[in-house]
A and B are shown apart, each in its own frame.
Chain A
């Protein structure tokens, strides 16, 4: 019985016996746990980053001439032979990468949905926290990267959307792709690469934070390392289209 003070005179007061525990809300524990999701993000992100670094270094072979990059592209398919059948290692890498990316995206989606549920009402007024730009662009930056990767595969892996589209002739395909009149492709590429840069800058630091034991002093070092890697990746990836655009590579 609940007694309120809005009525006339005093009424009897409710009674409770001790030992009776107030009803606790029934909650279920979400699985996987938030920390597990974070660890998945970190590990899968690390795999993707390793791939990106290798990819970027491979790209730079274009500056050594058409033969260099085309030979390199062919080698990627034959590496491991004759011990392994052709393209085995390539497909292993592709499989691992796909699993990592899918795990990364699924975890990110779950964490995002939980984050929205955890903060259903936004602040009327919240200024951005200094230095958190990269952190705040992770989600839509990630979406841009996914869209770009799909296009990128159709463009330079399958050749479907490439104006040249000759399998094995990587140099020609790239030069055709970033031709000056196709500026919109270059722009899309550049935006995606910058998004990757931001993503890596926060992601690398965040992953180290998740998996490592960082101290207050080490944190600034880690942030520095993440920034250097992110800038190196961005510059490395951007150098190719801009070289084509400016005629350095033709």
Chain B
């Protein structure tokens, strides 16, 4: 039996097609994946991301413990800043990818994937010192992503000036309908927007309020095409316990000036045999996870980890791992499927280069 988020009844009332994801019964689509994808690129969409897990790590040992557990630098994180990092096993394999929020000097919130929440919690608790405490906030913390160029002005209408001046990967602790919320300028779409952490009642109210302002609901289908075009990894596809994190190439998530669990493997360049690359295909037909990547002479040189038609690209796109020598943009690759072959080329990420995610928020706060 799948778990339900606090917004489950709302999705059903909106006519969403539901499906299982990470142990939850989640909306896959409402109006349709293409329409929802487009609405995020041009307007604003709402995603229910309550399935994700939130942990509170606090105490005098929190910085040191997190610096050991997570690949990104924790000590240099400022209060009000968040950072993307990986949690690795001793072999460098990825146990999860997550966001670390510095709430204050000795308090941190970790945001983790739904399917890995239980194993993450056990692993983290096992590795905390006696002066660090762990609490799992997931059951009482709802999360909604409001993404797209129209999102900032909706947030301004609902939460006021808290969003003014908010930079990429910064957050504020503010209030909504009288209750505390965390408003974070992050997301998984390549567009400007926020992730909102709130109590379930506030989250339901925020969902309805944002829809009143014109935000459209979007499901996991569009979430996947948007993140793929933005070149962002999906845990279980690009990132797995079996492949060490050094090969994924997210160097900004991996601090060079510290050690963390798995770092002797992850940071050893001689252990990086393959590299994660973007591949743009010649046609509309999509490669799918598990399809073989081959070089010009038909030799298998890698594997597709995600693939779909890219609605904003107008062609099929994919992410996959290839042998290091073939990772240069422009390299021709063949995708070998069960009954046919597709032609593609290694392409610099992100596929979608016009995204608004990193732009200054001031240009998005007033109705245009």
Are A and B subunits of one complex? no
Spell out A's residues near B (CB within 8 Å): none
